[in-house]
């Protein structure tokens, strides 16, 4: 009888201990996820209008836009850090929508783009993202190939997938030669997870990981050999030209 009581007490103590460990781990994970990279002031870049979060989105609407880009932020990077990029793309008649994602981790909110795409089918939508946001965007494209017209990866790469790599979905991959996180070697290593006939790989000389947004330096990254405004302008130029090329190709124009 005493042995049974002791066994029950030991089991109870084990369960309580495991519960405390789980709660502590979840608490630490939550605290870690909230320690985000925020947008910084960059004198070279002029943010003309600070957008307010509405229904979980920062939307930069282009008047009469017929194409749009849903851009997933990097892990723990505030969406506002991509405000300059979105602002300048909107001037090129491209509506840009940047979501606030669950726990600041886009990998936990892969289907977020459905909120925008389902509510506005007048626009040709493209999905993209930076770092983990790009990986999440690739997962979205793999799940919903029929809902997007192309994929844009910024300092990012796709994981193995079921449909994306065998599809004809146009993909633009922009990387930085000095990127210390999504390194040139990693971009090359994971390139087979993208459609081989439709992917355009562009490497920015001197570009790094953090300058795909405007949020300062990031642990593990390398120093860029160009300025943040130079890298941003190159990204904008490459995206605008690629979107135009994709449109011309899809319409069979010459």
Mean pLDDT by 10 residues, the chain (254 residues): 63 72 63 72 82 90 92 97 97 96 95 91 93 98 97 98 97 98 97 95 98 94 97 98 83 52
**Residue-range domain boundaries for the chain:** 36-251
Whole-angstrom Cα distance, residue 175 to residue 125? 22
Residue 96 and residue 86 in contact, taking contact as beta carbons nearer than 8 Å: yes
pLDDT of residue 254: 43
> Is 36-251 in CATH node 3.40.50.150?
no
Give CA–CA dist 58/129, Å, rounded: 14
Q: Could you tell me the two tokens for 130? A: 């930076």
Say if residues 151 and 174 touch (Cβ distance below 8 Å): no
Residue 157, classified by CB atoms within 10 Å of its CB into exposed (0-12), middle (13-18) or buried (19+), is buried
């Amino acid at each position: 009888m005493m042995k049974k009581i002791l066994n029950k007490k030991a089991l109870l103590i084990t369960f309580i201990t495991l519960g405390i460990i789980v709660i502590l781990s979840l608490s630490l994970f939550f605290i870690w996820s909230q320690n985000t990279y925020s947008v910084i002031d960059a004198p070279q870049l002029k943010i003309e209008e600070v957008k307010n979060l509405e229904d979980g989105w920062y939307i930069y609407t282009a008047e009469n836009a017929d194409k749009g880009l849903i851009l997933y932020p990097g892990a723990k990077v505030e969406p506002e850090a991509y405000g300059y990029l979105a602002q300048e793309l909107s001037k090129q008649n491209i509506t840009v929508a940047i979501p606030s994602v669950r726990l600041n981790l886009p990998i936990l909110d892969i289907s977020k783009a459905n909120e925008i795409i389902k509510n506005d089918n007048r626009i040709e939508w493209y999905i993209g993202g930076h770092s983990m946001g790009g990986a999440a965007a690739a997962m979205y494209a793999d799940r919903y190939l029929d809902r997007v017209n192309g994929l844009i990866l910024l300092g990012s790469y796709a994981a193995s997938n079921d449909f994306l790599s065998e599809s004809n979905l146009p993909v633009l991959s922009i990387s930085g030669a000095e990127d210390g996180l999504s390194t040139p070697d990693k971009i090359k290593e994971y390139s087979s997870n993208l459609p081989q006939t439709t992917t355009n790989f562009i490497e920015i000389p001197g570009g790094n990981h953090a300058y795909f947004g405007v949020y300062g330096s990031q642990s593990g990254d390398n120093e860029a050999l160009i300025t943040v405004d130079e890298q941003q302008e190159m990204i904008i130029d490459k995206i605008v030209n690629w979107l135009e090329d994709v449109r011309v190709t899809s319409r069979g124009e010459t």
